[in-house]
Structure 1
Amino acid sequence: MIVDLRTYTMVPGRLNAFLELYEREGLPIQKRHLGNLIGYFVTETGTHNQVVHMWGYESAADREQRRTAMEKDPEWIAYRKKSAEAGNVQHQCNKLLRSTSFSPL
């Protein structure tokens, strides 16, 4: 299993606006294309104004195929434009994680 771990740091005061837009418009598209949402979180301690989410894939090839299809979806393209224009995200960090032999996932 491959886990795509993403951390977005929001512009202070924009976290709720990001979450509202994403839940309403972005999440349904991603669920349709990416499938395995492991979790979606906001930070309580440490660096504030962060969203952390994880998506699971069978392999790197599975991830690439799913994300490529999503990037071509006109609804996703429109959502990304709308999200960028809202100016909510200040910084983004992505990590691909490979599970160990003893991981429960």
Structure 2
Amino acid sequence: MIYELRVYRCLPGRLPNLLKRFTDVTMDLFAKHGIRQAGFFTTEIGDSNNELTYFLAWESMAEREKKWTAFITDPAWTSARDASEKDGQIVQNIASQFLKPTSFSSVK
């Protein structure tokens, strides 16, 4: 299993808009495309309270490439993303890392 750690840093005051987009649209599209989430988090204490951090679980990089490409090119996604940003950009930047659990990790 490979875990993808994704951190979305929002423009000031825009995190609620991102959370609404995930609640109303993104999660259903993840399910449609077979994208498995392994947890979503906002920052309680830390450098920024304008971030959404989450993990996706992949069997392989090939699976990730196939499913992520299908998701980001889905007309339902591009339409919803554009509509959610009609009042301005939401996300300032996105950081992504691919993580492999260690032999002693409770997460496999």
TM-score range, shorter chain: 0.7 to 0.9
1:79 is aligned to: 80
Match of 1:92 in 2: 94
RMSD: 1.6
What letter corresponds to residue 24 of structure 1 in structure 2? Answer: D
Instruction: List gaps (5 residues or longer) in structure 1.
Output: none
TM-score by structure 1 length? 0.87
The aligned residue for residue 67 of structure 2 is: 66
After the TM superposition, list the runs of 4 or more consecutive aligned residues in structure 1 that deviate by more than 4 angstroms.
none
Amino acid corresponding to residue 29 of structure 1 in structure 2 = L
Does structure 1 conserve the Cα–Cα contact (< 8 Å) formed by 2:9 and 2:93?
yes
Give distance in 1, aligned partners of 2:4 and 2:89: 23
Describe the SS at the equivalent of 1:41.
strand
Matched ranges for 1:1-105 at <5 A: 1-46=1-46, 47-85=48-86, 86-103=88-105, 104-105=107-108
C-alpha distance in 1 between matches for 2:84 and 2:101 = 31
Q: Larger helix proportion, structure 1 or 2? A: 1
1:87 aligned counterpart, secondary structure: coil
TM-score by length of 2: 0.85
Q: In 2, Cα distance between the equivalents of 1:14 and 1:72?
A: 24
The percentage of aligned residue pairs carrying the same residue is 34
CA apart distance, 1:84: 4.4
Task: Tell me how many residue pairs correspond in the alignment.
Answer: 105
TM-aligned CA deviation for residue 31 of structure 1: 2.2
Structure 1 stretch 52-61 or stretch 70-79: which is displaced more? 70-79
Q: Which ranges of structure 2 fall in alignment gaps of 5 or more residues?
A: none
Report the alpha carbon displacement of residue 22 of structure 1 after superposing the two structures with TM: 2.1
SS at match of 1:76: helix
CA offset at residue 33 of structure 1?
1.2
Change (3 A) 1:68 1:44: same
